[in-house]
Amino acid sequence: MSLPIRTLRRVLALPPSLRLRTYATSPPNARLNTETDYKTTPILHHTSSSALSNPELPASVRTSQTHRQNFFQAINSALHHALSSDDRVLLFGEDVAFGGVFRCSMNLATNFGSERVFNTPLSEQGIVGFAIGCAAQGMKPVAEIQFADYVYPAFDQLVNEAAKMRYRVGSTGMHAGGLVVRMPCGGVGHGALYHSQSPESLFSHVPGLRVVMPRSPAQAKGLLLAAIECKDPVVFMEPKALYRAAVEQVPVPAYTLPLSKAEVLKEGKDVTVVSYGTPLYTCSKAIRKAEEDFRISCELIDLRTIYPWDRSTILESVRKTGRAVVVHESMVNAGVGAEVAATIQEGCFLRLEAPVQRVAGWSTHMGLIFERFNIPDVARKERYSQW
């Protein structure tokens, strides 16, 4: 008994900078809530052959080369392809000409000129309104909102102008379909109130918009190019925690991946776990532990497009497994999980063995030091997968 107290005293005697920092790392002796190892996670393609085996890739891409890229480099490649293949593609937002705060637009201003890649003033409502005007003229603007937390002033423009334009222009054929609004979203461990939010569910309430959130570099590249090609306005949310952390083999040529199509990442028999974005990594870990601890088999599905979303893939899976857990980072109240859970109970009620569970952020704000308590962790997910 005396030994631990002595140890504690010794630790406390150290200057604060040398003391054990327990807030930014996993707790000592943690069995479940350990740091995500992005080098080994099955969510990412660690080899060229696995990256090219994706059946969604066009045949020509599947025989091509890959290179290791992190998430922001993949976004950069996609933007590069888009800018070089179509003069109508424009890229603008706060500080994008310098490369953007997350380096997504590195060198694009140099390569494509300040006419096409330029900084805007700090005026989100103005940026999105401006982008809608460009799109109404047939351009393909890719507007960047520096953080998803800043998109709220532009909410009106997205909901009232972008989403409704096609519906209300009569026979003129006008639309804002060329519009893509990119925004980094989600927690990164220390973003706090105004740099960690994930407002996807707000946009998923609006017909006319498409809301996409990729999980990995290769997905980001394909989905962003699909979003730019898509003739509907797209809100493209990039989990900022993955910008540097997620590194994988990404096919070198340009390619698109289907929008509004979920992807089964791991097949299983007993429970379907539905998620998107960053939580997929912790879901994957939780599934591995749950399969060891409870001897169950879990299916993991990435929603990818949050709206309009791929109901049939999810319903098909739950009809098979009979149980579902929906996981997301943003608040549980009126979140995407509510919509998915309601859909599952409507579509598979007689097949359900247990109530659909939602594992999501608590209904509170993202306090700086509490971020990792707020975001669903492996332990919470494992527990719910047991039900």
DSSP labels for 172-192? G----TT-EEEEEES--SS-G
- The H-or-E segment that residue 342 falls in is helix 336-348
- Kindly state the smallest distance separating residue 342's Cβ from another protein, in Å: 7
CA 259 to chain centre: 14
Q: How far is CA 134 from CA 53, 141, 318, in A?
A: 38, 7, 43
One-letter amino acid for residue 105 of the chain: S
Q: In the range 174-193, which residues lie near another protein by CB under 8 A?
A: 174-175, 177
Of the residues 46, 62, 103, 166, which one makes contact with another protein according to CB under 8 A: 166
Calpha distance 206→225 (Å, rounded): 22
Active site residue 124: yes
Q: In the range 37-76, which residues lie near another protein by CB under 8 A?
A: none
- Tokens 């040529």: give the residue: 253
Task: Point out which span in 98-106, 172-180, 240-248, 263-271 binds another protein (CB under 8 A).
Answer: 172-180
Residues found in the chain: 387
Q: In the range 228-257, which residues lie near another protein by CB under 8 A?
A: 230-232
Active site residue 353: no
Q: Which is nearer to another protein, 122 or 369 (CB)?
A: 122
Task: Point out which span in 20-28, 51-59, 262-270, 302-310 binds another protein (CB under 8 A).
Answer: 302-310
Catalytic residue among 81, 195, 238, 328: 195
Of the residues 85, 160, 333, 363, which one makes contact with another protein according to CB under 8 A: 160
Peptide bond into 251 cis (omega under 30): no
Task: Point out which span in 6-14, 53-61, 117-125, 354-362 binds another protein (CB under 8 A).
Answer: 117-125
Q: How far is CA 60 from CA 52, 346, 369, in A?
A: 10, 41, 48
Calpha distance 368→308 (Å, rounded): 32
Task: Point out which span in 135-143, 212-220, 290-298, 323-331 binds another protein (CB under 8 A).
Answer: 135-143
Degrees to nearest 5, angle at CA 218 with 139 and 40: 155
- Binding residues for another protein, per CB under 8 A? 90, 115-116, 118, 120-121, 123, 125-139, 141, 153, 156-157, 160-161, 166-172, 174-175, 177, 207-208, 210, 230-232, 260, 307-309, 311-312, 315, 339, 342-343, 346-348
Catalytic positions, written as ranges: 124, 195
